[in-house]
């Protein structure tokens, strides 16, 4: 799990597919149960407290896993939400891109190479080994937005 704080109200939580293989993202109940466990882990292990009302977009990629994009709503009645989480969930199936500086030649048969605005992106087209995936993630920036 990797956490990226964007600002005081927005954060991204990156979770690899090996850690979420048994979650049915089409089931709102399963997803809400998983998020409650995730928020408890964030609080206990990382001292990140999630409380209040959040818009949560779940970006799902079959090769990487998921990115939970959380945006906290600035609601005046904050005390009402003390120690509680209310959320609006949206799930998006998407193919992540990986912004890179150098093309890894060992992956050429498993990825498509895209360019935009003088940047190089890789799009996975075949399953990578765990080692290949780890190297790709370490040497790139995951781009998940539509």
Query: Would you state the pLDDT for residue 22?
Result: 86
Residue 25 three-state SS: coil
Strands 65-72 and 10-16: antiparallel
Query: Would you state the pLDDT for residue 26?
Result: 86
Asked whether residue 133 falls in the same domain as residue 72, the answer is: no
Asked whether residue 51 falls in the same domain as residue 67, the answer is: yes
Asked whether residue 77 falls in the same domain as residue 101, the answer is: no
Q: How many domains does the chain have?
A: 2
Q: Which two tokens stand for residue 103?
A: 């093309």
Q: Confirm if 91 and 58 have CB atoms less than 8 A apart.
A: yes
Query: Would you state the pLDDT for residue 80?
Result: 53
Asked whether residue 77 falls in the same domain as residue 115, the answer is: no
Asked whether residue 58 falls in the same domain as residue 113, the answer is: no
Asked whether residue 84 falls in the same domain as residue 13, the answer is: yes
Query: Would you state the pLDDT for residue 82?
Result: 66
Query: Would you state the pLDDT for residue 109?
Result: 96
Q: Which residues contact 138 (CB under 8 A, 6 or more apart)?
A: none
Asked whether residue 68 falls in the same domain as residue 130, the answer is: no
Q: How many CB atoms lie within 10 A of CB 122?
A: 23
Asked whether residue 86 falls in the same domain as residue 109, the answer is: no
Asked whether residue 88 falls in the same domain as residue 117, the answer is: no
Residue 108 three-state SS: coil
Query: Would you state the pLDDT for residue 46?
Result: 92
Asked whether residue 112 falls in the same domain as residue 83, the answer is: no
* Full domain range(s) for residue 55: 2-93
Query: Would you state the pLDDT for residue 57?
Result: 96
Query: Would you state the pLDDT for residue 37?
Result: 93
* Per-residue model confidence as pLDDT tens for the chain (146 residues): 999 999 999 999 999 999 988 899 889 999 999 999 999 999 999 999 998 889 999 999 999 999 999 999 877 655 555 678 889 999 999 999 999 999 899 999 999 999 999 999 999 999 999 999 999 999 999 999 75
Q: What pTM does this model have? A: 0.89
Residue 39 three-state SS: helix
DSSP letter, residue 30: H
Q: Which of 93, 112, 135 is the last residue of a domain?
A: 93
Asked whether residue 39 falls in the same domain as residue 73, the answer is: yes
Asked whether residue 18 falls in the same domain as residue 72, the answer is: yes
- Among 133, 63, 136, CA closest to 93: 63
């Amino acid at each position: 799990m990797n956490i990226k704080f964007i600002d005081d109200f927005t954060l991204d939580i990156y979770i690899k597919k090996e850690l979420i293989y048994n979650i049915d993202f089409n089931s709102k109940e399963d997803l809400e149960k998983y998020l409650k466990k995730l928020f408890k882990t964030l609080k206990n292990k990382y001292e990140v407290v999630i409380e209040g009302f959040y818009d949560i977009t779940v970006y799902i990629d079959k090769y990487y896993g998921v990115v939970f994009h959380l945006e906290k709503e600035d609601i005046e009645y904050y005390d009402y939400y003390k120690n509680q989480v209310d959320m609006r969930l949206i799930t998006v199936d998407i193919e992540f891109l990986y912004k890179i500086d150098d093309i890894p030649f060992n992956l050429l048969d498993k990825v498509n190479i895209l360019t935009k605005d003088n940047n190089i992106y890789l799009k996975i087209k075949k399953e990578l080994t765990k080692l290949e995936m780890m190297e790709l993630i370490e040497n790139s920036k995951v781009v998940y937005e539509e």
